[in-house]
C-alpha cells in the first residue's frame, strides 16, 4: 500500500524512466518530490503537529495527514511500534500516541 505523495513521486520516476529519456525523466520527479515532501504540516505550530513531527519524523518524513483516512492512521501508527522496537526504541508513550492520532485524524483525508 503506498498512498503518500512522496511514494507517488518515486513511482512516477520509475514510469518515466521506462520511456528511455533518462535525463529528462529525473528532472521532473525531483522537483515534484521536494515540493511534496517539504510542504508544511497543517497547523504546524500546534502541539499536535509538533509531537507528530518529533515522533513520526525520526525515520522518515512526517507524512501529510491528508494522505490517509482516520482508519488508516490507526493502523499505521500501530504498525510503527514494530519499527521502533527493531531500532531499539521504546513503544510510543500513551500520551504521545493519543495526541498524534487526534492530530492525524483531525486533518485526515
Q: Which residue bears the cell 500501530?
A: 78
Report in angstroms how near the CB of residue 97 gets to ligand HEC at its nearest: 7
Q: Is the CB of 41 or the CB of 80 nearer to ligand HEC?
A: 80
| Whole-angstrom distance, CA of residue 57 vs CA of residue 63 | 8
Least Å distance, CB 105 to ligand HEC, is: 11
CB 101 → ligand HEC: shortest distance, Å? 8
What DSSP designation does 19 have?
Answer: T
Interface residue list for ligand HEC (CB under 6 A): 1-2, 4, 7, 55-56, 58-60, 63, 76-77, 80, 83-84, 87, 89, 92, 100
Nearer to ligand HEC, 16 or 72 (CB): 72
Between 16 and 84, CB nearer to ligand HEC: 84
Distance CA 104, CA 109 (A): 9
CB of 19 to ligand HEC, least distance (A): 25
Spell out a b/e string for 32-69, using b for 16 or more CB atoms within 10 Å of the CB, else e: bbeebbeeebeeeeeebbebbbebbeeeeebbbbebbe
Amino acid at each position: 500500500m503506498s498512498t503518500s505523495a512522496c511514494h507517488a513521486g518515486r513511482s512516477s520516476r520509475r514510469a518515466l524512466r521506462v520511456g528511455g529519456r533518462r535525463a529528462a525523466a529525473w528532472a521532473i520527479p525531483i522537483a515534484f518530490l521536494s515540493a511534496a515532501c517539504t510542504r508544511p504540516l497543517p497547523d504546524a505550530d500546534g502541539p499536535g503537529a509538533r509531537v507528530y513531527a518529533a515522533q513520526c519524523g525520526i525515520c522518515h518524513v512526517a507524512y501529510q495527514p491528508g494522505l490517509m483516512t482516520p482508519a488508516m492512521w490507526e493502523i499505521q501508527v500501530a504498525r510503527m511500534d514494530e519499527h521502533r522496537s527493531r531500532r531499539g526504541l521504546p513503544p510510543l508513550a500513551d500520551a504521545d500516541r493519543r495526541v498524534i492520532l487526534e492530530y492525524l485524524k483531525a486533518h485526515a483525508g
